Amino acid sequence: MNTIWKRTVFFSYLLTLIFGDSPLHERYHTYEEIQTQLEEWNDEFGDSVNIYPGSGIIYHLEELGISTEDGLPFWAVKLSYNADIEEDEPKFLFLGQCHAEEIYGVEITMELINKFLHPGPQYHLQNMQAILQSSEVWVVPTYNPEGLTVVHGDSVDGSWLQDISYRKNKRDVNLNGIFDFDNIPEAGFDLDGVDLNRNYDFNWIFGDTLWTMDYGDDGYDSHYDYYRGESPFSESETQAIRNFALDNQFLLSIAYHSSRSGNVSEQIIFPWMWSGGKSSPDYPVISSLAMGISNLIPTETGVEFANYIPVESVSRRGNAHDWFYTETGCIQFLIETGTANMQPDSLELIEDTIERNLEGALHLMNRGIGYFIGDFAADAYQVTGIVTDASNGNPIDSAIIKISEMDGPMLKPRVTDQFGRYRRLLTNGTFALCVSARGYENQSFSTTPSSTSQTVQDISLIPLETHSLELNIATPSAYSESVQLLLTDQYKTDTLQISNGNFSIQIPENHYTIKIIGENLFPYFNEIDLTADTLLTIDMNFAGELFNEPFPNLSNWSIESGEWHVDNGVLISQPGLIYPDSYTSIISSWINNPDHQSLALSLDFQY
C-alpha cells in the first residue's frame, strides 16, 4: 500500500522526514522492539522452571492475530505458575495499545510482563507470587501494530513517514491503494483507517459513519477519528480480540488508553450509567472495584484530583469494555493513562506513570483471586464452584449461572467453562444463585459472600428424563428434497436435516418449539411440552402466495399503536434508532384465503 502526504509539515517534521529521527522518547517501544523483546523473553523463560519457588514454566507466547492492512502479527503473553498447561484458574486480560497514538498502553503492559518475569522483594514479591499461583495473567502489548508503526515512523520507499497523532489502523477505506492520512501533529482528518474501539458489535450502530466531522469539547476537533468501520468486527484486529475473549472467559480486564484532548485524562471508565439512570446489572461490583483501583493510582500532579477518577461509561458506540461485559461477563475497565501530554519526553514522568498504573493492576488481580492482605489488598466477595452431573460426577460446561439481583436482558448468559467452573464477583449482601443447563433440573441457592475468603458452592444437577420425539413427515409426491428441522428450547436451536419422512430423536423433557421448512413448502410450526414419548404426523404442502406487499405506502395497513411509516419501500417501526418502551402494532387489511377463512397479518413487538 503506497503512502502520500496530505499536507505540508512544519519545519521540525521536515527534519524528521529527511533524517528519520523520531520526536518520541527512546523509552517508547517500537513495533519491532516489542517483537524482539517478547521473543527474547520467550527464549529465556519459555522453558525455564522455578523462577518462583516451585513454579513451572511461567511464560507462554502466542501469536494472536494480524493487522487488517499490512498483515503485521501481534501477540499475547500468558503468565502463570504453569503457563504451558490449561488449568482451572481465573483469567485476567491486560490490553495495551489500541489507538495508535496512545502508546502508554504499550509501556504499562510491557513493564507488567517484566515485573512478573524479574521478581524481587522490592516489588511485592509475595503478592505477585500469589497471583501467578492462583490465576492466568494474559497481556497483549498492542493490537494495533500498523497504527503503531505510523506513530513511531517507518521508512517507506526511501521516505520517513510519521504521524504521532494518528489514532486508527491503516484500513484502505476509500480503496485507492494509498494510505491517506494527515501528518500535521494534530488529531483528525485521516481519510483512511478504522477506530478499533468503535468496531465491536454492542451498540456499534451508534458509532460514527465514514468521514464524520467531530467537534469535541474546548475547541478540540478530531474529524474522522472515530469511524466505526463498515460493519461490526470488520477489522482483523478486533476479530482476533473477540475470538480470544470468547475462548478464554476472562474474569477481569484493563484496557489502557490516553486522552489527547485531556477531557477524559486520568479516568477509570467502566460499564455503565446510561441516560435515565440505567446502570449495568453488576454496577455495585464494578463501581466498587473501580474505586479500589482509583485509590491506588495518584494523578500526575495531585492538584485538581488526588487520584484517577472512576467514571461510569455513558457512550454507546461499539466500545470494547461494554462488549466484553455484555458478551462474555468479563468486567473491563478502560483506564485513560497520563494527561493531555500523553507522549511525554521526560523519562522520569514516563516511568512514574507506568509505576502508578501498575499498582491499580495488582489490585484488580487481587480482587479476582481474593487476596486481601498487603498494600494492594482487595475484598474477596466471590462465589465460585464446579457444576457436575449428579448421575456420574462429570463437569458440565455451558451451565448457565445467574445472580438474580445482577441480571439483565442485554447480558449474554454467564456460563461454566470446560472445567464446569463458574466465578461470580459479588458485594456485601445475600444473593439468589440460579443454575440451569440443558437436560437438567434447575437449582437455586441463597449465597452470602465473605470479604476475606471466596465462597465455594459446588452444584450437582439432576438429569431430566429423556423421551422419544418421532416425526412422520409427509411431503407432496413431486417433492424430492430434504426438509430442515429447527428444534428450539430456552438454551439453543438444533438444526437437523431430514432426508426421508420418518425421524426420531431422544431429548430431555422440556418445552420445545418445532419448525420444519423446505424449499417452496409451507412451513410447519408447533410448540409442545415433551413429558412422554410423542409421535407427530405432519402433512406439508407446497406454498402459495396469498399476500405481497412492496410498501409503496400504508394504504393496506392500519396502525394499532406506534409511529409506523414507510421510507422508500421499507416499513419502519419508529422514527429513530431507539425502540419505544410501549407496545407497538400494525395490522394488514383482510387477505383472501381460498377455501379457508380470511386472515390478516399482524406485526407487533414490545422492546
| Grid cell at residue 507 | 431429548
| Cβ proximity of 197 and 320 under 8 Å | yes
Q: In the structure, what pLDDT confidence band is assigned to residue 6 with cuts at 50, 70 and 90? A: very low
CA dist 8 and 197 (Å) reads 29
74-133 pLDDT, tens digit per residue, is: 999 999 999 999 999 999 999 999 999 999 999 999 999 999 999 877 678 999 999 999
pLDDT at 11 over 60: no
pLDDT at residue 431 above 90? yes
Q: Tell me the longest C-alpha to C-alpha distance in the chain.
A: 88
Lowest mean pLDDT segment, chosen from 123-132, 218-227, 364-373, 528-537 = 218-227
Rounded Cα distance between 347 and 25, Å, is 8
Sign of the C-alpha dihedral computed for residues 353, 357, 359 and 362 taken in this order? negative
Share of the chain above pLDDT 90, in %: 84
Give the C-alpha separation, 412 to 432, whole Å.
18
Task: pLDDT band for 282, please (50, 70, 90 cuts).
Answer: very high
For residue 18, name the pLDDT band (cuts at 50, 70, 90).
Answer: very low
Residue partners of 500: CB distance under 8 A and separation at least 6: none
Residue 600 has pLDDT above 50, yes or no: yes
Q: What is the pLDDT of residue 218?
A: 63
Of 210, 197, 15, give the one whose Cα is nearest residue 100.
Answer: 197
Q: Give me the residue label for grid cell 440443558.
A: 438
Domains with residue ranges and CATH for the chain = 2-369 (3.40.630.10), 383-461 (2.60.40.1120), 466-539 (2.60.40.10), 557-605 (no CATH)
Residue 534 scores a pLDDT above 70: yes
What gap in Å lies between CA 151 and CA 101, rounded to an integer? 6
Q: Kindly report the length of the chain.
A: 607
Mean pLDDT across the chain, nearest whole number?
A: 93
* Amino acid symbol at 528: I
Report d(CA 101, CA 105) in Å as an integer: 10
Over range 32-56, report the average pLDDT: 96
Amino acid at 254: I
Q: Which has the closest alpha carbon to 502: 536, 481, 472? A: 472
Which H or E run contains 179?
strand 178-181
User: What number is the average pLDDT over the span 501-519?
Assistant: 96
What is the number of other CB atoms lying within 10 angstroms of the CB of residue 9? 17
Q: Own/partner pairs for 588-595, CB < 8 Å, 24+ apart?
A: 588/547, 588/549, 588/556, 588/557, 588/558, 589/556, 589/557, 589/558, 591/546, 591/547, 592/546, 593/546
Task: Specify the residue for cell string 396502525.
Answer: 559
Residue 7 has pLDDT above 60, yes or no: no
Helix axes 347-369, 125-134, angle to 10 degrees: 50
Q: How high is the pLDDT of residue 15?
A: 38
Segment 432-454 mean pLDDT = 97
Distance CA 329, CA 280 (A): 11
Q: What share of the chain is helix, strand, coil (3-state, %, to 5)?
A: 20, 30, 50
* Contact (CB, 8 A) for 389 and 463: yes
Which residue has better confidence, 575 or 283? 283
Of 38, 143, 139, nearest to 93 by C-alpha is: 139
Which phi and psi angles does 83 have, rounded to 5°? -65, -20
Reported as a pLDDT band with limits 50, 70 and 90, residue 219 is low
Q: For residues 72 and 35, give the distance between their C-alpha atoms in angstroms, rounded to a whole number.
A: 11
pLDDT band, residue 5 (cuts 50/70/90): very low
Is residue 250 within 8 Å of 241, Cβ to Cβ?
no
What pLDDT score was predicted for residue 121? 74
Buried b (16+ CB within 10 A) or exposed e, 558-582: eeeebebeeeeeeeebeeeeeebee
Given a contact cutoff of 8 angstroms between Cβ atoms, the answer to whether 553 and 541 are in contact is: no
Dihedral angle sign, alpha carbons of residues 358, 360, 366, 368:
negative
Question: Averaged over 49-69, what is the pLDDT?
Answer: 96
β-pair partners for 3 = 179
pLDDT of amino acid 220: 66
Q: Are 251 and 423 in contact (CB under 8 A)?
A: yes
pLDDT of residue 102: 98
Q: What is the mean pLDDT of residues 504-519?
A: 97
Q: Give residue 501's pLDDT.
A: 86
Q: What is the pLDDT of residue 16?
A: 43
Amino acid letter, 82: N
Per residue, the 3-state secondary structure of 397-447, as one string, reads CCCEEEEHHHCCCCCCCCECCCCCEEEEECCCCCEEEEEECCCECCEEEEE
225: left (phi over 0), alpha (psi -120 to 50) or beta: alpha
Residue 500 binned pLDDT confidence (cut-offs 50, 70, 90): confident
Give the tens place of pLDDT for each residue, 147-205: 999 999 988 778 888 999 999 999 999 999 999 988 876 678 899 999 999 999 999 99
Residue type, 259: S
Higher per-residue pLDDT: 427 or 315: 427
Q: How far apart are CA 324 and CA 254, in angstroms?
A: 11
- Around Cβ 351, how many Cβ atoms within 10 Å? 13
